Chain A
Amino acid sequence: MTGIIHSLWTTAADPALPLDRIPTPKIEYAQLSPVLIVFGAAVLGVLVEALLPRRGRYVAQLGVSVVGLAAAFAAIVALAADGYASTKSHIAAMGAVAVDGPALFLQGTIVLVALVAAFTFAERRLDPLVHGRRVDSFAAQGAAVPGSEQEQRAVRAGFTTTEVFPLLLFAVAGMMIFPAANDLLTLFVSLEVFSLPLYLLCALARRHRLLSQESAVKYFLLGAFSSAILLFGIALLYGYAGTISYGGIADVVSGTARMTPALANTTANDALLLIGGSMVVVGLLFKVAAVPFHMWTPDVYQGAPTPVTGFMAAATKVAAFGALLRLLYVVLPGLRWDWRPVMWGVAIATMVIGAVVAVTQTDVKRLLAYSSIAHAGFILAGVIAVSPDGVSSVLFYLAAYSFVTLGAFAVVTLVRDAGGEATHLSRWAGLGRRSPLVAAVFAVFLLAFAGIPLTSGFAGKFAVFKAAAQAGAVPLVIVGVISSAVAAFFYIRVIVLMFFSEPQPGGPSVAVPSPLTVTAITAGAVMTLVLGVAPQYFLDLAGKASVFVR
């Protein structure tokens, strides 16, 4: 039994072993340093929250987050430069975590996204002063009931929820492990590690608190269901293969594992494998918001504080697609002929429904939510290719897409009226006349979403469709191209609204942001254009990082 079950989790938990025979787990701290740094920073953030007086927390928290994330990025670059992305790629922590090209590439993307997102979290110039103090987008006190006396007291006292920074860091750390997880339990634990902080963050909006809390509850309930489904799938897969390590299951699926009587017994029937595998995939498709598991997206994107939405839309997608790629390419390549037709259906439905439903949206955050669904469909087209090109194109697309998303949501935070952010589309009419620069930047992001050449969106779309076409998925490419045309329609509609409609009297104004948000938007815009005009370096990087370790 121990021969097959060989992993950090199971070894430690096995009661059959006498205590003295439990080997000390071997942990490669250096190789895990990016994740450990972020966890360390998160813990430090909790200590700051507990020990520092209120006045000092904001600066300290922002400092800890920025330094921690920057250090983690440096560690990732160092590991990649050391060859861990290619020749020295390796499975660390007793088979629990992979340190390879895709993992490092995605971790790097997530950390950069989080770094930019931290700036938008810290923005304090957009809301009007409350009792003479600058406030951010988060509730004064999360525990205070909306509209209660307690809430008013918290606001008057100038409380701020600086806890969002450690929550962000915990989520980031979980997201970093998620695509690197190399056994099913690590996968599940990291899923929970990044989901729980996100549920909390969603509930913390300063304005429209009930809407925000409703979105968090929805997200939590549906997320809990998907976690349960994922966990059930894991159990079934374990029942089938007798192991939870990715490599081990892959060996059993492909029939190269050493046969034992127990294994012969379970593998005689594929039902466990098929049901278990599909349940795990469903859990991941929920996180990437693929149709038909997309229902939570519009509500949550709309209700959550906009900086959180931006972070979630960008980083969750990166992490979840990373995990999905690893699962399909490392664990279930032997089942390719079983999952490909299903994934075809999912990809087509996601592209078409995402694009078509987006046309009817009237709220800019919901619009971006449906657009993120459509984009999930485009990315799935690359996932289905099952080739190194497919992996590298998905990696590139994720990097390109996440920065466009961050930038777009950062712009959304700027357009405000008396009730906070003005997200209803009709309020955006004539924005191009009042604030040409902001409208122009948002137009760049929309054009990138629409996949107009010379933006990163086009390069990404071309990469995934190219990979799909070369893998013979030509119908998928055609559906993708047609739904891109539909999608273009609603992006263009927003541009029309901004530039060619008369401004409404009493319409929203564009708040002048602090350098924090300016940095975030600039980073998004620069990445959008650089990845559009000169994508070769990044394509190379993604190409070199496209081999999974087993």
Chain B
Amino acid sequence: MAFPLLTVTAAVPAVGAIATAAVPAGRRTAAKWLALGFSLATLVFAGLDAARFTPGGARYQLTESHAWIADFGVRYQLGVDGIAVVLVLLAAVLVPFVMLAGWHDADVLDGHAPSRNWRPTQGFFALILLVEAMVVISFEATDVFLFYIFFEAMLVPMYFLIGGFGDRAGPKGEGEQAKQRSYAAVKFLLYNLAGGLIMLAAVIGLYAVTAHQLGGHGTFSLPQILQARASGQLRLSSTAERWIFLGFFFAFAVKAPLWPLHTWLPNAMGEATAPVAVLLTAVVDKVGTFAMLRYCLQLFPEASKWAAPVILVLSVIGIIYGALLAVGQRDIKRLIAYASISHFGFIILGIFAMTSQGQGGAALYMVNHGVSTAAWLLVAGFLITRRGSRLIADFGGVQKVAPLLAGTFLVGGLATLSLPGLAPFVSEFLVLVGTFSRYPAAGVIATLAIVLAALYVLVLYQRTMTGPVKAGNEGIRDLRARELVVVAPLIALLIFLGVYPKPVTDMINPAVKDTLSDVHRTDPAPQTNASLTAAAKESAK
């Protein structure tokens, strides 16, 4: 039996979570280093996954398959395609930075220890590792049920991270702040849980349909379902397919989040600490868009095509709406949250445009959005912690007192507005081109968001960083060594992927091609002069 690389990649952070949680109270520095060590080990294994993966080889590689719950037709079945392997790597890369950035976030809570079991630092780092483990396994799963279990279960640690370790730098007093925090955590959980439960009905529906058609025993295995459909053994009626598709899509759209199901995100990101917000939006939410690409499109190609126009309209609304609201925000973290909603709109637009450029761009966008949001938001978090406030109005002239902080904040912002030369530009461009070739109107409207992005990023920079130093900002210290260790590699990564995205696109593209062939979609023929005249002649006849 081959070495179960994928299982180990997911198991390392899970074991790390248990080990970190077991560190005795009073040894919190040891707990931090232990957790960081485990997250780095996960990175090593994720790197090995990527190294062992052959782009253009078999569709699912490094596969593992074991019986699990036979009664439900569930197997413990793992395998990665190009997109999954890249996203596992993204999660593994970002988590150590999240930990470093949040190094002291739980220290405040350690103060009043009402019980000898009260170990907030251990809990904080263990929960981060637990989220990482669940995210990794949901990227790796090729069994719908296995995916579903971790898709749902990851809500629990994430919920505790938001509600238990939230931002203490809010505009209101601690009592009010605690209320807002638990409101945000509950809203996050209820939205996602409701999405997940609707999906549960669809998952059961999928089982019932496969059991009905494949002779009594339903299956959740993605490869098996795809094969059965390709061979004509499994035929979903279009009504069934559409209902089940909607159940799945609803859950993913809440998670991603797609307008109008996005309202939990600004609350959650606003109230969580910056590192947790990064974990949420850059890592956890990617499971939603990833699942659209993998499960919605591959399992339900006809329904996906059926629903695509509506989804495109929603994502274009989300793109513009998110950007507009970002312009109007007074709170730095909520601004970044609305910017993310706009970007998730781009990702979903790319996925459902169903062109190779659009989907390739969307998959690349997931990676780039992860890195750029991490860079921008983590620096913003450093800024907020220093001032003890997240209101834009409380800042001004920071670049004079903390030039490095201001500079890295600008780079993160510029990446977000898709400046050429930085990573997100490539993916945004690909998504827009891919959309334009099939849905020109959607492409044109979405492009407007680039202008709005420039507005919210630059105005934010101008208000907080330039001008005379505002009262209360004199004491803002520049980045420390630990924070530089967080920011510098992320910015390097942004520049590298902006100039040379080929290593990632090489991984992604074969998987995108497979997905498109599942949907029976080919790219529209390029419109050259010759083809245009031919078409004109055709219509003249």
Contacts and interface: CB of A to CB of B under 8 A. Distances in A.
B193 A481 contact: no
Contacts of A459: 69
Contact of B186 (A482, A485, A496): A496
Contacts of A452: 152-153, 155-156
Given A465-B204, A466-B204, A496-B182, A488 B72 contact: no
B69 A485 contact: no
A484 B114 contact: no
A481 B182 contact: no
Contacts of A34: none
Contacts of A451: 197
Given A496-B185, A496-B186, A501-B182, A433 B114 contact: yes
B163 A496 contact: yes
Contacts of A477: 201, 204-205
Contacts of A466: 72, 204, 207-208
Contact of A500 (B117, B156, B182): B182
B204 A539 contact: no
B152 A499 contact: no
A477 B194 CA distance: 14
A543 B71 CA distance: 9
Question: Which residue among A470, A482, A489 has the maximum number of chain B CB atoms within 10 Å of its CB?
Answer: A470
Contact of A536 (B68, B150, B156, B208): B68
A435 B114 CA distance: 8
A492 B189 contact: yes
Nearest to A447: B156
A292 interface: no
A435 B207 CA distance: 42
A469 interface: yes
A185 to B, nearest CB: 36
B149 interface: yes
A283 interface: no
A435 B178 CA distance: 19
Contacts of B182: 496, 500-501
Contact of B205 (A447, A469, A488): A469
Interface in B135-168: 148-150, 152-153, 155-156, 160, 163-164
Interface in B104-127: 114-115, 117-119
A536 B163 contact: no
A247 interface: no
A463 B186 contact: no
Contacts of A503: 114
A501 B182 CA distance: 8
Interface string B185-200: 1100110011001101
Contacts of B262: none
B32 interface: no
A482 B197 CA distance: 7
Given A481-B201, A535-B69, A540-B71, A435 B189 contact: no
Interface residues of B, number: 41
A488 B68 contact: no
Given A433-B114, A496-B163, A500-B163, A470 B201 contact: no
Nearest to A539: B71
A26 B71 CA distance: 39
Nearest to A493: B186
A452 B189 CA distance: 11
A499 B190 contact: no
Contacts of A93: none
B92 to A, nearest CB: 22
A239 interface: no
A488 B181 CA distance: 19
B211 interface: yes
Given A485-B194, A496-B185, A500-B164, A462 B204 contact: yes
Interface string A419-463: 000000000000001111100000000010011111000110011
Interface in A498-531: 499-503
A78 interface: no
Contacts of B207: 466, 469-470
Contacts of B530: none
A478 interface: yes
Interface string A35-65: 0000000000000000000000000000000
Nearest to B166: A500
Contact of A470 (B178, B186, B208): B208
B163 A499 contact: yes
Contacts of B197: 451, 481-482, 484-485, 488
A437 B22 CA distance: 12
B70 interface: yes
A546 to B, nearest CB: 11
B23 to A, nearest CB: 14
B428 to A, nearest CB: 35
A435 B70 contact: no
Contacts of A469: 204-205, 207-208
Contacts of B189: 488, 492
A485 B156 CA distance: 15
Nearest to A482: B197
Contacts of B152: 452-453, 458
A474 interface: yes
Nearest to A443: B156
Contacts of B163: 496, 499-500
B72 A478 contact: no
Interface of B: 67-72, 114-115, 117-119, 148-150, 152-153, 155-156, 160, 163-164, 175, 178, 181-182, 185-186, 189-190, 193-194, 197-198, 200-201, 204-205, 207-208, 211-212
Given A478-B201, A493-B186, A502-B175, 20 more contacts: A433-B115, A433-B118, A434-B114, A435-B115, A452-B155, A452-B156, A463-B71, A465-B204, A466-B72, A466-B207, A469-B208, A481-B197, A488-B193, A492-B189, A496-B163, A496-B186, A503-B114, A536-B68, A539-B70, A540-B70
Interface of A: 392, 433-437, 447, 450-454, 458-459, 462-463, 465-466, 469-470, 474, 477-478, 481-482, 484-485, 488-489, 492-493, 496, 499-503, 535-536, 539-540, 543
